[in-house]
Amino acid sequence: MPSVRVPCSAHDRARIRRTLPAMLLAALSACAGNSAIESGSLEVTVRDPATGGGVPAASVRLTGTSLAAITNAAGIAVISDVRAGAQPIRVQSVGFCVNDRTVRIAPAIRTKVTIWNCGDVVEVHNAPTEPAIAVLDLRIGSGPASQCLADELRQGVGYMDVGMNAMPITPCHGAVALLTRNHAVYFSNDASALPWTASPGDVLSVNVSPSLLHVPIRVTISSHASLPYAGVLQLTQDQLKMAGDILSNDLAGFDLAGDETGAPVVIREATAAQKGIIGTGCANVAAIRATPALYSQGHLNIFVVEQATDHYGNDIAGTSCLVEQAPDIIFVSPRVAKPHTLLHEVGHSLGLQRPMWGHTDGLEGFWGTNPSEPLNLMDSGRALAIAYLSVGQVLRMTIAEESWLNLPSAPNGSTVRQRQAPGSSEPLSVPCGCPASEATDDCAALSRDISRTGVKNEPTTGTLACGTFPVGPLAVSCGAPTNVTAVLSPVGALGSARFVSLDPMVLTVTPSDNNSKMASLTGVANGTGRVSVWADGSPSMFTVVVSGCP
């Protein structure tokens, strides 16, 4: 293009000479400002996954540049004037492998990252000082040596060393659960969110829930002359104290509270009229639910009575009304209860229901001081000086489909876990295995646990019942008793069954005797009635058509 000469006056030439230096200075200042905004500094903490401590004298270098630093005694290195954006770094130290990572540098500020040297790590990001247990489904090795590992347990404080190089999870099942002292149990089976790569030093960083899950309970004392209210109140308070200690010690992820905000539990005394409604056991479920002063749909309703009875009229320490499809109603008798009975019955309502009705007497893998002195909370017989919940039990109470926490407990059909996690993804609930040694993809075996002081139970002899084969529909004549027998699943399993009429105005159910699989059905009105049958804690239901009544 040819040049063009533009005539300028003397005044124009003087104005240009005055303004040009200022324009150049402004341009240079803008460049300097842009340079400052586009760079930041990097602080790297290098940790030893075996100890959690810092690694001194480790080399930290931005790959492909001369920018580098050596970690100090605390394992910290700082590099200044690092271009903002994604930057590859390499960490090397004597006795460790080479660790390549990519970090994202924020402009104008110091970016802080932690590198776990060579070991894969699970990090509880927002609870760095709390005891924690991780339950991991992993893949290790490659090619023909590749293995899928399920329910690997790791313990730590704020972090847990995986102890191996976890590989990309496909084709294995991937999941992680975290138990911490002051936060709800974290559980995810989203394999795409797992950071595992073929290189060591991966970090799964998890933000757990801000608080414990608050399991709302209402406690009503129905005391009588032989057990004055003041004494029963003290016993109940002692039970709640022991429950809190067990839940905290075993990182259960929930507490027992007065409501879902975590308010203190309020203990009420029943009036004389209410005592007649409460009765002594689960036969009074319908009357209790029809009395708002005694029953709240969004709570576990716990009734402390002088004498609790089972379906056969026997005195018992306590019961959860599972067979009546009322897991939110619990009875406890301080006259025969153990110090842990209240929490034991809550455990039933929260999914500890099978095999053996959720009892761990003699089940393989549970701990005791010797075969006659069990330690697990869900043992059915003895008073325990020390009671514990296994990791498998804690997970089941939180994520099992049959746990009351995952059943509708409000007029809008929401669950406790849904209501306490507003705006988050749908809380997962999953099917769990039976018997105690059987795991599913997402639910660890009931007996899966950390090492404890004591001895483990030997393998259980015989096959334990985990359910029943279908019964009915049946047809019965009015007033003519019809015997029915539950067929336990699997075939040949040991156990008992209980039958309960869910429509007592149509038909009644009379159990044969304790620990029997038989009952007698009697029609009292024409129509269709429902019968619930439970075999060692696993429910099913069948229908009965009654005819021939006047």
Q: Indicate the domain borders of the chain.
A: 39-116, 122-206, 213-456, 467-547
Q: State the pTM of this model.
A: 0.80
What does 296-334 look like in DSSP terms, one character per residue? Answer: -TTSEEEEEES-EE-TTS-EESEEEETTTTEEEEEEE-T
pLDDT higher at 6 or 22: 22
Average pLDDT value for the chain = 86
Q: Dump pLDDT digits (tens) for 389-425.
A: 999 999 999 999 999 999 999 999 999 999 997 655 5
Phi and psi torsions of 168, nearest 5°: -50, 135
Confidence of residue 255 (pLDDT cuts 50, 70, 90): very high
As separate numbers, helices (DSSP H) first and strands (DSSP E) second, the chain gives 7, 34
According to the model, what pLDDT value does residue 431 have?
Answer: 84
Residue 4's contacts (CB-CB under 8 Å, 6 or more residues apart) are none
pLDDT band for 28, please (50, 70, 90 cuts): very low
Judge whether residue 200 has pLDDT over 60: yes
HEC assignment per residue over 423-464: CCCCCCCECCCCCCCCCCCCCCCCCCCCCCCCEECCCCCCCE
pLDDT, tens digit (0-9, with 9 covering 90-100), for 273-301:
999 999 999 989 999 999 999 999 999 99
- Tokens standing for residue 217: 């309970």
CATH of 39-116, one of 3.20.10.10, 2.60.40.1120, 3.40.50.460, 3.40.50.2300: 2.60.40.1120
Is the domain 467-547 a CATH 2.60.40.1080 member? yes
The per-residue pLDDT for 36 is 47
In angstroms, the CA 423 to CA 426 distance is 9
Are the C-beta atoms of residues 361 and 219 closer than 8 Å to each other? no
Average pLDDT (504-526) is 84
Encode pLDDT of 418-475 as tens digits: 999 765 555 788 888 887 678 889 999 999 999 888 888 877 777 788 777 777 788 9
Looking at residue 24, its pLDDT comes to 44
> Phi and psi dihedrals of 110, rounded to 5?
-90, 120
The structure tokens listed for 237 are: 């308070």
Note whether 39-116 and 467-547 share their fold.
Answer: yes
Render the burial of 385-405: b for 16+ CB within 10 Å, e for the rest: eebbbbbbbbbbbbbbebbbb
- The answer, yes or no, to whether the previous bond of 470 is cis (omega within 30 of 0) is no
**What percent of the chain is predicted at pLDDT more than 70?**
89
Tell me which of 3.30.310, 3.10.129, 3.40.50, 3.40.390 is the CATH number of domain 213-456: 3.40.390
